[in-house]
Amino acid sequence: MDKKKILFLCTGNSCRSQMAEGWARHLKGDQIEPYSAGIETHGLNPLAVKVMAEAGVDISGHRSKHLNELKDQMFDYVITVCDAANESCPFFPGKTVRIHKGFDDPPRLAKSAATEAEALGHYMRVRDEIRAFVEGMPENLSDQGAV
């Protein structure tokens, strides 16, 4: 079976797309060749690294990448994981299927948190939602609405 090449695209490639890439490598590395990038680069979010480590997935070696760094790659799927990336997603040539699966933005939600524990709760919830989505891959991709 050929691995599906999947790009997880987000605004800054700092949190949600990094979590998705980490989960895909951890849970589906035998079926998926995952990548992540952003339409901008915001650096790797330390709280995303922390909650992924708590779940047994080390993304500390990842770095925030701009979409242009992957311009020569051909992907089977491009999955936008935030609304801004979905609205700004460029055209991908060939057989690439583009899917939008939006997740809440943990850093934005955490801004109003009174404590670090409350802030981490937002990251953990989104982490777990992304895990549930990735666990169903690649089979669930045909169930998603292609953009």
pLDDT in tens, the chain (147 residues): 689 999 999 999 999 999 999 999 999 999 999 999 999 999 999 999 999 999 999 999 999 999 999 988 899 999 999 988 778 767 776 788 989 999 999 999 999 999 999 999 999 999 999 999 999 998 888 766 554
Q: Find the length of the chain.
A: 147
pLDDT of residue 45: 96
pLDDT of residue 141: 84
How does 89-115 read in b/e, with b if 16+ C-beta sit within 10 Å? beebeeebbbbbbebebbbebbeeeee
In 50-110 the beta strands, taken as DSSP E runs, fall at 77-80, 97-100
As beta bridge partners, residue 146 has: 99
pLDDT of residue 90: 72
In 11-141 the beta strands, taken as DSSP E runs, fall at 32-38, 77-80, 97-100
How close are the terminal C-alpha atoms of the chain, in Å? 26
Give the integer Cα–Cα distance in Å for 137 and 28: 8
Classify domain 4-142 at the CATH class level. alpha beta
pLDDT of residue 145: 55
Instruction: Map out the domains of the chain as residue ranges.
Output: 4-142
pLDDT of residue 106: 96
pLDDT of residue 143: 64
Residues annotated catalytic, as ranges: 10, 82, 89
Nearest to 9 by CA among 96, 79, 69: 79
pTM for the full predicted model: 0.93
DSSP letter (8 states) at residue 6: E
The helix/strand/coil state of 85 is helix
Nearest to 106 by CA among 19, 6, 9, 7: 19
